[in-house]
Amino acid sequence: MTDQLTIALAQINPTVGAIRANLDRVRDARAGAAQRGVDLVVFPELVATGYPPEDLVLKPLVLDLVEQSVTALAAETADGGPALLVGTPWRLDGRLHNAAVLLEGGRIAEIRLKADLPNYGVFDEKRVFAAGPLPQPVLFRGVSLGVMICEDMWTSSSAAALARTGAELLVVINGSPFETDKAGVRIALANRRVEETGLPLLYVNQVGGQDELVFDGASFAINADRRLAAQAPGFREHLLVTHWQRGEDGRWSCRDGERAAPVTEPAAIYQAMMVGLRDYVNKNRFPGVLLGLSGGIDSALTAVVAVDALGADRVHAVMMPSPYTSNESTEDAVEVANLLGCKLDTLSIEPVMAAFDAVLAPAFAGTDADITEENIQSRARGMVLMALSNKFGAMVLSTGNKSEMSVGYATLYGDMCGGYSVLKDVYKTTVFKLARWRNQHLPDGAEGPAGRVVPERVLTKAPSAELKHDQTDQDTLPPYEALDDILECLIEREMGPAGIVARGHDPDTVNRVWHMLDRAEYKRRQAPPGVKITRRGFGKDRRYPITNRFLSVLA
């Protein structure tokens, strides 16, 4: 039995399906830990496959490769170096489990199974995994470790079972996605488990982007007195080494170690957008990105995030003026590109508009111009961007925000076209806050320039799609401050109209926004993926029927 342990928390960035590459990252982390005298390296949930693997783990070929690769990795621990606690899918008795395996002494020494499978929000683990029993401790060098897997910590059952059966130290492996305010929730839940059991706790979280999800790392160690002893930085790979000592009373405590400052909003939101975009582009092997740069706030912020995430040489902006594009918008787009140092082309869509007018003239004879002609402009821009994408290989970024996507203030196959959306889960009012913040801060890991990157006029002029003369967003939408509050009440809080009106909103406006939100579901179903920021992002978080007449009883 030992009285000292050195445990490293390895928050690494796996890629779903890259099983051999993921385990090579595990090997690299183990080699670094060995140089620092580490006894045990703890890795995130399902690190062998990457998280979340979704239906990929229903393929027997995938599971065969996982088991072969993990077994080979286990054999390498016969060298006397650090043991490994690795998250992986694992088959037992004909059932597939979300598991943690202890690799020590050249073998798979212990296996523990996730007991509490989440089935809400972005999670649907019950679809592919079988639940395990309440866990019992893992014996490691004479120390009883209470291993839990992510959701097992969110309720009290697993921690209580481990405490009853002799655990001395709780160890939680996680694939916990970022959303606003979630870091504080994790710490609070960990403290609750510590208070309930009287045991210290180690928490390791994945880092990096996977489709719409971003994992923010920020792994930590908490002592039995609920004092934070160590914390890793957010949003980047890191090996957090913690040193543990058994006291005269037999209880374990962690010496004070590295404590990175937490990433708070709005920096956390910005980092999530950067990491999400960078990993989506790089993991899917796109050479770079394309976007329409209009001179407005949304496309400006999207361009800034893209340059910060990928570097200016991988961002190609295109200005596509029409007869309704103001001189100010053209000037602002040029200034944004100059501030960022990215390529900017100007390709007028006026010839495309004229061609469509000629083609449709016989069919539209006797009708007045309306939103149809406005949408043609948007779709012409989408066609130009997709042509450039097809020709040169860069992925198109759509630039719409959550406010617009909520109420359908976007054109299918026009400004909605693209492979990824950085602002998909960011309300318009937050877009302005992020742009102002970025003008004053250079984010950690950003490849873009320091200083002002969004011109002041872009921040102060009235938002407009510029699809007709003297158009502003507020011709169609309520002021964004009111709209965003109503939308947050409807989407994140699932509030009814009476409660929203009680917050000071006009009843007719609330009812109109509700109708717009509901009618736009068919558009959102066809939208590109984008970074999840809020608790209820459009996609897996919020699954509403397209055909839905519930609102008719409220009209």
Query: CB 256: neighbour CB atoms within 10 A?
Result: 14
Asked about 417 being catalytic, the answer comes back as no
In whole angstroms, give the CA distance from residue 398 to residue 395: 10
Cα 210 to its chain centre, rounded Å, is: 7
What is the residue whose two structure tokens read 């621990």? 77
114 a catalytic residue: yes
- 65's CB contacts (< 8 A; 6+ apart) are 19, 20
Alpha carbon distance 543, 272 (integer Å): 23
DSSP character for 539? Answer: T
How many angstroms separate the CA atoms of 260 and 232, rounded?
6
For 191, list phi and psi in degrees, rounded to 5.
-60, -35
Using DSSP's 3-state secondary structure scheme, residue 432 falls into helix
Instruction: Tell me the C-alpha distance between 397 and 415, whole Å.
Output: 10
Label the pairing between strands 201-205 and 207-210: unpaired
Q: Distance between CA atoms of 335 and 321, rounded to whole angstroms?
A: 15
What is the CA 464 to chain-centroid distance, rounded?
A: 28
Q: Considering 110, 125, 150, 179, which one is annotated as catalytic?
A: 150
Q: How many other CB atoms are found less than 10 A from the CB of residue 523? A: 17
Backbone φ, ψ for residue 93 (5° rounding): 55, 40
In b/e form, how buried is each residue of 83-103, taking b as 16+ CB within 10 angstroms? bbbbbbbbbeeeeebbbbbbb
The dihedral of CA 175, 181, 183, 184: what is its sign? negative
What residues contact residue 488 under an 8 Å CB cut-off, 6+ apart?
Answer: 427
Contacts of 389 (CB under 8 A, 6+ apart): 290, 395, 396, 419
Catalytic site residue from 114, 283, 424, 532: 114
Radius of gyration of the chain measured on its C-alpha atoms:
26
Q: What's the chain's length in residues? A: 555
What is the Cα–Cα distance from 244 to 250, expressed in whole angstroms? 12
Q: Directed axis angle between helix 19-35 and helix 60-76, to 10°? A: 20
Based on the residue annotation, tell me whether 523 is a catalytic residue of this protein.
no
> Could you identify the residue written with the tokens 């394309």?
290
Nearest CA to 121 out of 159, 154, 88, 90 is that of 154
Strands 220-222 and 201-205: antiparallel
For the chain, first and last CA: distance in Å?
A: 71
- Between 428-440 and 267-283, two packed helices, what is the crossing angle to 10 degrees? 90
Cβ–Cβ < 8 Å for 306, 317: no
Active site residues: 45, 114, 150
